[in-house]
Structure formats: structure tokens, C-alpha cells
Amino acid sequence: MPDSAPPAPPAAAGCLVHVAVNTPAHSAVGGLLTYASTQPLPPGTLVRVPLGTREVLGVAWDAPADATALPPGTAPRAVAGVLDGVQPLQAAWRRLVAFTARYYQRALGEVALAALPPQLRDLTPAQMARRLRRPAAPPVDAQEPAKTIALTAEQASACGQIDSQPGPFLLYGSTGSGKTEVYLHCVQQALATAPEAQALVMVPEINLTPQLEARFRERFAPLYGEAAVVSLHSGMTNPQRLKSWLAAHTGAARIVLGTRMAVFASLPGLALIVVDEEHDASYKQQEGARYSARDLAVWRGREQGAKVILGSATPSLESWHASSPEVGRYQRLHMPSRIGAGELPRLRLVDMAQQPRGAVFAPPLVAAITERVERGEQCLVLLNRRGFAPVLHCHDCGWKSDCPHCSAHQVFHKSDRTLRCHHCGFAQRVPRACPACGNPDIAPVGRGTEQLEEQLAALLRNVITPERRAARVARIDADTTRAKGALEEQLAQVHAGEVDVLVGTQMIAKGHDFRRITLVAAVQPDGALFSSDFRAPERLFALLLQAAGRAGRDARYVAAQGQPPEMWVQTWHPDHAVYAALRRHDYPAFAARQLAERQEAGMPPFAHQALVRADARTQEAAQAFLQGAADAASAAALPGMDDVFLFPPVPLAVQRVAGVERAQMLLESPSRAALQRFLAAWQPLLHAERARHKGLARWLVDVDPQAI
């Protein structure tokens, strides 16, 4: 205990230890500092050390290869205390952290400390001791018979392969094909191999963890006790996070369920990692170290000898390519059939050119929704834009509701009469008249979920359900779910059948098991077809197929109702290849086409990318920094340079946010290793360049960026 230890003697008495601490980002210090200790500290030991005027948490680290004595004349400060009772973090964990820092170009200490629960830092030694002493739930000694479902042939085949092959595996299975059941089965197998074996199961969204947790708890609490299953995600309080983290670290938890941050959980017995919905963009962290939890899962699995299963109905093109026979890095397992659910919904493409001008909802779609609601079925209407309208406009003088701080419009929110910027959060009351010319007649242009909800309610106002009540339209998006528990409550209403038509953003398209939804409609999905981001079609296809998967999940219900489920898409481009593939639910055809295009254009996964972003007071300053850094790289003829192509600096699509100008520079290379070599060598030049540009607010590197 630090408080019972003798007062720390001056440095000379003990030995030197290297400690990973979170020094402010981009400081010249890489994150390992040298401290003096009275006793040798094994790498991985959690310590408290002085840093400037503060005392901070640190992790004793392996001596770096180039460890040298301190600069002459400097004496190391002494380690202030050791977190006794917490076992040192394993070498495998330290390697994961070191790899992440190196690969994503961040300081080691920053990554290490961000991977630990914040409360570790705040607890006094006495509090920590109490927490560790807290008795774990007694182990279940009488093993109850495991509650298992008889696997289908497809599931059994997938499980058999996973059992007998090394992986990593890409489990490509339709929505409702029983992927979760495969995860449960494989977790059970993995845990049975050794009493200390652990499994990590990741999902993209916090709001999907409760459902998953319930399913895992039901299966594994009878076998291993309630304490064996824990969650780990950013929606938890700090004490909850610490509790889960300690349970995983001590081995008391056998199964950790979590979002992307869980990839860094300390799991000494890790035997299996599952990444569900592996294509989901939320596995990529968007600040600090911009890591991909999916990619790190694969790396960690290989390092720590754990099997890895990536699962999806619409795999990322990266994973799909990696699992192709030509590449063969992943093993592809296919489960095409839906269990207990009928056919996937039939696609109905509505050509908007054939509809009345300005119609938000095509009349045939309104008729179809009406029919479903009158039969007591539920419908889901998707639009990926919240608010009432994306902009207000004055037809007299051309004024638009621009955000004063961003190069973006302020979105009109009708319910609270505000104009809100979705980039910087700036909000204002809606003006009574045009601020430029006084015209009282300013009009919303375009549409958001709020408007859809209002219009649908009006269109369906005379529609009566079989229970003889008026049709109910409800909306779920980021605006309606801000309050804690609001989402759960709204979802419960849908499940209870109190809602007939659910309007919302992509939030409602993922994962939810709505039993009575038989019609899904995407109102305005075309935007993504012509986006400048080459991943937009991939995301659109995944979203629409996911959304389609919400319809007709209960085959018996569908059969009883007598009308097959449908997916409606309103489009101006009914002949587009994306929709043609969607019509046949043909992900492989879609993927093959996209991959051919990407290969042709030399884009990922056939090339590797990184972005350098700069934020500054002016666009010129931001771009000057990037250009300066590029010039410095050529002048220094950095290693890897011959294989790396640097594009010229350009403004971001939304160029100014909260008064800050943003620019980026894309780097591309056919070789991941060359790009990595180049980035590592470039890092010091970027730091040096920064000092030359006074107007620069910050810069960052994004390796394998998700959005260009």
C-alpha cells in the first residue's frame, strides 16, 4: 500500500522504471517517462506518478529498445504509489496498446490511459482495496445443463468450421439467419476449454447491448453465475465501467459484451472475439487514436491466440475481399437461410419521375401503408435526416438559414421553433420574417423526419386500425431520444403495438427485432448514389438491406396476415445498379461490382489510405501547413515515399465548423507497410512543421479513414 510504504526516498536509492502516462497529445514526449522506484516494478504494474504539478495514473512499461540514461543533470522523479492488488497488465495487452499507438500514429501513453477506466485514477488505495475485496458471486458448482437450441444444418456447419479451423472467420449470414446463435454456441465451446477462458463480444451500438446482454445472460448465468457476464461501453457510469473492467481483468468475468472500446479490455484468458455487424462504421473511433476496433480485434486475436469471428449480412468490402478465395486471409462461412422468418421482403422501386410533382410520399406508397395499418400491421419509414427541413429560404431575396459559424445550413426544427446547426450545435429561435429583407414568408426547403411524421399523420388521419382506433405515427431519432431511457420507452411502445407507423433515421434500421413490421420504406435514399465519398454506395446498400431485414421477421405472423412483406424505395434512379442488386438481395453481386470499380480506380481494399487533417483560423493556413508537411517529406526523401502518393490539400466537404477552417490531405499507397513506414518517419516532420504555422489550431492523422 502506498500509504503504508516508507516515504519515497530520493531517486538514487532504487531503480529506474519506464512509465506510460498520458502527456498532452502531440507533445514531443512519446508517452514513456522515466521515474525512480524503490523496488523493481514488473511491466504492466499500475502506478501513480507525478507529472508537472499533478499526480496521474501510469502503467509501468517495458524498457524501450533505445532506453538511455536520463539527460545529464536531470534526476528522475519518484513513483508516488503502486496500485497494489491489481495484477500487472499482461504483455499481450501492452503489445496491443503499443501496436495501436504505432499504427494509428498516437502517443503510447495516450492510448494506454484511454484504454483504462477513468476511475482507476481517482480511487484512493483504500477504496481500491475495498473494491477488490468485494466478494465475487459464488461460482456455480453444480453445473446446470446448458440450455441449447438444436442448431440448423447451416449453423452446425459454421460452428464445425470455427471449431476445427484457425480463422479469422467472416460469418456472412442473412438477417435472421441465426448468427447470434452461432456466437452463443462458439462462446460456450470456447469457455468450456479452460476454466479461465474468456470471450469478448462486440456490437456497434450501445442501444443494442441490453438485448444482447439479456440473451447471453440467459444462456450463461446458469453455467457460470450472474457475475460471469459483464458489459463495457461508453454509456456506463465510471463506477460501472471500473467494476466491469476489474471483473474482466481479474478473470471473474468470462464474457465481456461491449462496443468498440471493449477491444482494449484486459482479458488474460481471451479465447474468442466476436465482432457483430462488422461492417458498421461505428467500429472506427473518430477522435484521439482513430482506431478500427474490428481491425484491432483481428490483430489481437492473432497475437493472443484467440479465435475471431466477424459477422454480417452485408460485410465491409474490406472483409469480403479478405475472405475471397483469391486472398484467403479470412475464412468465409455462409448462412443464407432465415430461421423462423419467411422470404426477405420484396423490393418495390417507386420511380419518383412518375409521381405528382413535389410529392413527399408517392400515392401508391401511401395506399400500401394504409392497407397495412388497416390490417393491424406496422410500417417503418426511413429518412436519414432529422429535423423538419434542412434549410429555411426567402424566395424574395435568396436568404438561407446559414449557420454563422459553419459552412452549413441551420436545420429547421419545427417542434421547438428553432434553427439548429447539426455541426456546431448553434441554435436560434426561428425568425418571424426574413432577417435580410423583412419578407414574412420564409419557407422550409427539403425534408427531415419531423416533417415526414407530420405529413404521414395527416395522410393517415382517417385510417382506422382493427382495434378501431386512429392510426398512430411516431418518430424515433436523435432528437426524440435525448433523454435517458427515452429510446427504450419508445421501442417498447413499438413492440407493444401502440405505434402503427414508425418514422426515423438509421437508428431504427439496425438490429431491432420488431415482430409485426411488414413494410419498410426508404423515402429519399438517392443522395448516397452520387456522394463524393466512395464508400457511400456500400453504406447505402448495407443500410437498405438491414432496413429490409426489419420486415417480416415473424414468418408465422406474415403467413397469417397473408400479404408478403415489402421494402419500398422512392428513387429518381430506379435503374441504378445498387437498387438492381438490392432487388435480388444479392450482396455478392453488389460487392463484386464495387470491388471491380475500386480495383480499377486503385482504391481500398486495393490501396491503403491515410488522411492528414489540419484545423486553422483560415483555410490558407490549414492548407499551408499540409503543403509544408508534404514538401518537407519530399525534401527529406522519407522511407516508403516512393510507394506513397500525396494528393494536394483540399478543404473538407463542410469546410468551416464552429469558426474553424478545415483542410485535409489524402495519402494513398498500394502497400500498407510502405504507408506505415512513411507515416512513422513523417511524424517528427509534422511536429516540426506545426511550429512554423502560427494560425494552426490542430492537426491529426487518420489511418484507414472511413470517410474521405
Partner whose footprint covers residue 194, from ligand ADP, Zn ion, none (CB < 5 to 8 Å by kind)? none
149 or 636: CB nearest ligand ADP: 149
Report which of 354, 314, 359, 362 is spatially closest to residue 573, judged by C-alpha positions: 354
- Site membership for Zn ion, residue 436 (CB under 5 A): yes
Q: Residue 169 CB, nearest distance to Zn ion (Å)?
A: 44
Can you tell me which of 22, 37, 45, 155 binds ligand ADP, judged by CB under 6 A? Answer: 155
396 or 416: CB nearest Zn ion: 396
Largest CA distance in the chain: 87
**For residues 210 and 483, what is the distance between their CA atoms, to the nearest angstrom?**
17
CA angle 471, 475, 481 (to 5 degrees): 140
Can you tell me which of 302, 405, 472, 617 binds Zn ion, judged by CB under 5 A? Answer: 405
149 or 367: CB nearest ligand ADP: 149
Phi, psi of 188 (to 5 degrees): -60, -45
Can you tell me which of 29, 80, 136, 339 binds ligand ADP, judged by CB under 6 A? Answer: 339
- Candidates 179-187, 298-306, 414-422, 693-701 — which segment interacts with ligand ADP by CB under 6 A? 179-187
**For residues 425 and 238, what is the distance between their CA atoms, to the nearest angstrom?**
26
Write the secondary structure of 148-186 as one string of H (helix), E (strand) and C (coil).
CCCCCHHHHHHHHHHHHCCCCEEEEECCCCCHHHHHHHH
DSSP sequence for 607-623: SEEEEEEEEESSHHHHH
- Site membership for ligand ADP, residue 314 (CB under 6 A): no
Q: Residue 392 CB, nearest distance to Zn ion (Å)?
A: 10
Partner whose footprint covers residue 263, from Zn ion, ligand ADP, none (CB < 5 to 8 Å by kind)? none
Phi, psi of 9 (to 5 degrees): -75, 165
Partner whose footprint covers residue 77, from Zn ion, ligand ADP, none (CB < 5 to 8 Å by kind)? none
Can you tell me which of 22, 175, 378, 518 binds ligand ADP, judged by CB under 6 A? Answer: 175
Partner whose footprint covers residue 396, from Zn ion, ligand ADP, none (CB < 5 to 8 Å by kind)? Zn ion
- Candidates 169-177, 390-398, 407-415, 418-426 — which segment interacts with ligand ADP by CB under 6 A? 169-177
What the block records as the C-alpha cell of 315 is 460485410
- Site membership for ligand ADP, residue 285 (CB under 6 A): no
- Site membership for Zn ion, residue 423 (CB under 5 A): yes
Partner whose footprint covers residue 20, from ligand ADP, Zn ion, none (CB < 5 to 8 Å by kind)? none
Restricting to residues 199-238, which ones interact with Zn ion according to CB under 5 A? none
Q: Residue 312 CB, nearest distance to ligand ADP (Å)?
A: 9
Restricting to residues 380-399, which ones interact with Zn ion according to CB under 5 A? 394, 396-397, 399
Q: Residue 311 CB, nearest distance to ligand ADP (Å)?
A: 7
Q: Quick check: bond before 168 cis, omega within 30?
A: yes
Can you tell me which of 31, 178, 258, 448 binds ligand ADP, judged by CB under 6 A? Answer: 178
- Candidates 382-390, 437-445, 572-580, 635-643 — which segment interacts with Zn ion by CB under 5 A? 437-445
Partner whose footprint covers residue 439, from Zn ion, ligand ADP, none (CB < 5 to 8 Å by kind)? Zn ion
390 touches 445 (CB < 8 A)? yes
Can you tell me which of 109, 117, 173, 552 binds ligand ADP, judged by CB under 6 A? Answer: 173
**For residues 691 and 704, what is the distance between their CA atoms, to the nearest angstrom?**
26
Can you tell me which of 140, 151, 607, 660 binds ligand ADP, judged by CB under 6 A? Answer: 151
- Site membership for Zn ion, residue 589 (CB under 5 A): no
DSSP sequence for 253-287: -SEEEESGGGGG---TTEEEEEEETTT-GGGB--S
Residues in Cβ contact with 208 at an 8 Å cutoff, skipping those fewer than 6 apart: 510, 511
- Site membership for ligand ADP, residue 312 (CB under 6 A): no
Residues in Cβ contact with 183 at an 8 Å cutoff, skipping those fewer than 6 apart: 201, 274, 276, 309, 311
Provide the 8-state DSSP code for 45.
-
Write b or e for each residue in 299-316: b if 16 or more Cβ atoms lie within 10 A of its Cβ, otherwise e.
Answer: bbbebbebbbbbbbbbbb
Q: Residue 364 CB, nearest distance to ligand ADP (Å)?
A: 30
Can you tell me which of 90, 152, 627, 706 binds ligand ADP, judged by CB under 6 A? Answer: 152
Residue 575: left if φ>0, alpha if ψ -120 to 50, beta else—which one?
alpha
Partner whose footprint covers residue 178, from Zn ion, ligand ADP, none (CB < 5 to 8 Å by kind)? ligand ADP
- Candidates 149-157, 431-439, 501-509, 519-527 — which segment interacts with ligand ADP by CB under 6 A? 149-157
CA angle 695, 698, 703 (to 5 degrees): 140
Residue 251: left if φ>0, alpha if ψ -120 to 50, beta else—which one?
left
State the number of binding residues for Zn ion (CB under 5 A). Answer: 15
75 or 149: CB nearest ligand ADP: 149
Report which of 257, 264, 245, 268 is spatially closest to residue 183, judged by C-alpha positions: 257
**For residues 613 and 526, what is the distance between their CA atoms, to the nearest angstrom?**
29
- Site membership for ligand ADP, residue 340 (CB under 6 A): yes
Q: Residue 549 CB, nearest distance to ligand ADP (Å)?
A: 7
- Site membership for ligand ADP, residue 179 (CB under 6 A): yes
Residues in Cβ contact with 305 at an 8 Å cutoff, skipping those fewer than 6 apart: none
Partner whose footprint covers residue 177, from Zn ion, ligand ADP, none (CB < 5 to 8 Å by kind)? ligand ADP
517 touches 378 (CB < 8 A)? yes
What the block records as the C-alpha cell of 27 is 507533445
Can you tell me which of 181, 213, 661, 689 binds ligand ADP, judged by CB under 6 A? Answer: 181
What the block records as the C-alpha cell of 610 is 491515410
Can you tell me which of 419, 434, 509, 545 binds Zn ion, judged by CB under 5 A? Answer: 434
- Site membership for Zn ion, residue 307 (CB under 5 A): no
Where helices occur in 60-178 by DSSP H, the ranges are: 91-103, 108-114, 119-122, 125-133, 153-164
Q: Residue 146 CB, nearest distance to ligand ADP (Å)?
A: 14
**For residues 185 and 159, what is the distance between their CA atoms, to the nearest angstrom?**
7
Q: Residue 339 CB, nearest distance to ligand ADP (Å)?
A: 4
Partner whose footprint covers residue 394, from ligand ADP, Zn ion, none (CB < 5 to 8 Å by kind)? Zn ion
Distances (CA, A) of 485 to 207, 214, 237, 476, 482: 10, 17, 15, 13, 9
- Site membership for Zn ion, residue 406 (CB under 5 A): yes
Partner whose footprint covers residue 406, from ligand ADP, Zn ion, none (CB < 5 to 8 Å by kind)? Zn ion
Q: Residue 435 CB, nearest distance to Zn ion (Å)?
A: 8
**For residues 693 and 620, what is the distance between their CA atoms, to the nearest angstrom?**
11
Can you tell me which of 67, 149, 353, 464 binds ligand ADP, judged by CB under 6 A? Answer: 149
- Candidates 28-36, 72-80, 168-176, 342-350 — which segment interacts with ligand ADP by CB under 6 A? 168-176
Distances (CA, A) of 277 to 214, 227, 369, 599, 632: 18, 26, 29, 24, 41
Please report, as ranges, the residues that interact with ligand ADP according to CB under 6 A: 149-152, 155, 173, 175-181, 339-340
**Where does this chain bind Zn ion (CB under 5 A)?**
394, 396-397, 399, 403, 405-406, 421, 423-424, 426, 434, 436-437, 439
